[in-house]
Protein backbone atom coordinates (compact mmCIF):
# COMPACT_ATOMS: atom_id res chain seq x y z
CA UNK A 1 0.00 0.00 0.00
CA UNK A 2 1.91 2.99 -1.31
CA UNK A 3 -0.55 5.51 0.16
CA UNK A 4 0.55 4.51 3.67
CA UNK A 5 4.08 5.77 2.96
CA UNK A 6 2.89 8.88 1.13
CA UNK A 7 4.93 12.01 1.93
CA UNK A 8 3.26 14.48 4.26
CA UNK A 9 3.45 17.52 1.98
CA UNK A 10 2.17 16.51 -1.44
CA UNK A 11 1.35 19.16 -4.02
CA UNK A 12 -2.23 19.25 -5.33
CA UNK A 13 -3.13 17.69 -8.66
CA UNK A 14 -1.54 19.57 -11.58
CA UNK A 15 -3.76 21.82 -13.67
CA UNK A 16 -3.98 21.85 -17.45
CA UNK A 17 -1.19 24.43 -17.62
CA UNK A 18 1.15 22.09 -15.72
CA UNK A 19 1.45 24.28 -12.61
CA UNK A 20 0.59 22.82 -9.22
CA UNK A 21 -2.30 24.99 -8.12
CA UNK A 22 -5.53 24.29 -6.30
CA UNK A 23 -7.49 24.91 -9.49
CA UNK A 24 -7.56 21.32 -10.80
CA UNK A 25 -11.24 20.34 -11.00
CA UNK A 26 -12.18 16.97 -9.53
CA UNK A 27 -15.41 17.08 -11.55
CA UNK A 28 -13.30 16.64 -14.69
CA UNK A 29 -11.71 13.52 -13.18
CA UNK A 30 -15.09 12.29 -11.91
CA UNK A 31 -14.00 10.20 -8.90
CA UNK A 32 -16.88 8.29 -7.32
CA UNK A 33 -15.56 8.97 -3.82
CA UNK A 34 -12.83 10.72 -1.83
CA UNK A 35 -11.39 9.35 1.41
CA UNK A 36 -10.65 11.64 4.35
CA UNK A 37 -8.02 10.54 6.87
CA UNK A 38 -8.01 12.41 10.17
CA UNK A 39 -5.23 12.14 12.74
CA UNK A 40 -6.38 12.77 16.28
CA UNK A 41 -4.94 11.33 19.47
CA UNK A 42 -7.00 10.76 22.63
CA UNK A 43 -9.78 13.24 21.85
CA UNK A 44 -7.27 16.09 21.52
CA UNK A 45 -7.30 18.62 18.71
CA UNK A 46 -7.14 17.25 15.16
CA UNK A 47 -3.51 17.06 14.08
CA UNK A 48 -4.09 16.77 10.35
CA UNK A 49 -6.64 15.97 7.66
CA UNK A 50 -5.70 14.47 4.30
CA UNK A 51 -7.86 13.61 1.32
CA UNK A 52 -7.33 10.87 -1.26
CA UNK A 53 -9.16 9.84 -4.42
CA UNK A 54 -8.72 6.58 -6.33
CA UNK A 55 -6.14 6.73 -9.13
CA UNK A 56 -8.02 5.97 -12.33
CA UNK A 57 -4.84 4.73 -14.05
CA UNK A 58 -3.44 2.50 -11.30
CA UNK A 59 -5.88 0.07 -9.71
CA UNK A 60 -5.69 0.06 -5.91
CA UNK A 61 -3.63 3.26 -5.67
CA UNK A 62 -4.74 6.69 -4.46
CA UNK A 63 -3.82 10.30 -5.29
CA UNK A 64 -3.81 13.01 -2.63
CA UNK A 65 -6.03 16.04 -3.28
CA UNK A 66 -6.54 19.24 -1.33
CA UNK A 67 -9.53 20.09 0.86
CA UNK A 68 -10.34 22.99 -1.48
CA UNK A 69 -10.57 20.60 -4.44
CA UNK A 70 -12.95 18.35 -2.49
CA UNK A 71 -15.15 21.32 -1.54
CA UNK A 72 -15.21 22.66 -5.13
CA UNK A 73 -16.30 19.22 -6.39
CA UNK A 74 -19.26 19.28 -3.96
CA UNK A 75 -18.59 16.03 -2.13
CA UNK A 76 -20.75 15.38 0.93
CA UNK A 77 -19.44 13.92 4.18
CA UNK A 78 -20.86 10.57 5.25
CA UNK A 79 -20.60 9.56 8.90
CA UNK A 80 -20.99 5.97 10.02
Which pTM value belongs to this model? 0.63
Per the domain annotation, does 15 fall within a domain?
no
Q: Is residue 5 part of a domain?
A: no
Phi-psi sector, 42: left (phi>0), alpha (psi -120 to 50), beta: left
Confidence of residue 60 (pLDDT cuts 50, 70, 90): confident
Q: Which domain holds residue 29?
A: 23-80
Does any domain span residue 3?
no
Residues ≥6 apart with Cβ < 8 Å to 10: 64
d(CA 45, CA 72) in angstroms, rounded, equals 25
Grade residue 45 by pLDDT with cuts at 50, 70 and 90: confident
pLDDT, one tens digit per residue, over 10-39 is: 555 554 545 444 456 788 888 889 999 988
Amino acid sequence: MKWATFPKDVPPLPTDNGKNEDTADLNDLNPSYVLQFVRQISFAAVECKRYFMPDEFDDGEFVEVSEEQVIKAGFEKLKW
